[in-house]
Amino acid sequence: MSSVNRPFDLVLFDLDGTLIDSASQLALAVNRTLADLGLAEADEAVVRTWVGNGADKLISRALDYRGAGEQFSQARGLFDRHYQACLLEGLAMYDGVEQSLRRLQKLGYRQAVVTNKPSHFVQPILDALGIADCFALWLGGNCVEPKKPSPTPLLHACHELGVSPARTLMVGDSENDVLAAQAASMKVVGLTYGYNYGRPIADSNPDWVCEHFCELDALLVE
């Protein structure tokens, strides 16, 4: 596919809830943190509704759920240690992710990861999954401030890779991804299967809504 008929030159991907289902690892780390603090654990289904704004928000929501917000500083450090320990435990990509990433790579698309997950967790995940070479750039939540839903990380990725927002597509599963893309004046795909605080992603009005990752091919592959 030539650059003339390729609809975009750069595709930005969120990580959690978009490329990988990390809820099990996050729930395990959250519950180990709560247990260390003498607090009752939370069901994984509940933890899933807390994911998407980075680790600080995740821990804040977990503590608020148990009425222990004042223990944030201690809990935040505990969580990082527990999450590091179980980061790759049962780690898996959603169906079709690697195949589509490889297909887009062969077609000349530049690809990058823009996530609110702390950066020191991102590279080990991409390496363990064997997809790090698919991406020209990855940005963790502490790489560029402020985080999504600010457009700043998305625009920074465009600047670093020399691609205009008008030629960039954002792919994510949460309102944060949609709002960030809209503020950056770029098109956005909302995936229905990820983490969006229990709300339909369509409510955020992305340009396209996809139920499966491979549906991106219809937009990007001729």
SS3 of the chain: the string is CCCCCCCCCEEEECCECCCECCHHHHHHHHHHHHHHCCCCCCCHHHHHCCCCCCHHHHHHHHHHHCCCHHHHHHHHHHHHHHHHHHCCCCCCECCCHHHHHHHHHHCCCEEEEECCCCHHHHHHHHHHHCCHHHCCEEECCCCCCCCCCCCHHHHHHHHHHCCCHHHEEEEECCHHHHHHHHHCCCEEEEECCCCCCCCCHHHHCCCEEECCHHHHHHHHCC
The answer to whether 14 is a known catalytic residue is yes
Q: Which two tokens stand for residue 182?
A: 């809209």
Identified catalytic residue from 14, 21, 173, 177: 14
Answer yes or no: are the C-beta atoms of 91 and 124 closer than 8 Å. Answer: no
Do residues 174 and 17 make contact, with C-beta atoms less than 8 angstroms apart?
yes
Token pair of 163, please? Answer: 């691609």
* Residue indicated by tokens 């939370």: 42
State the catalytic residues.
14
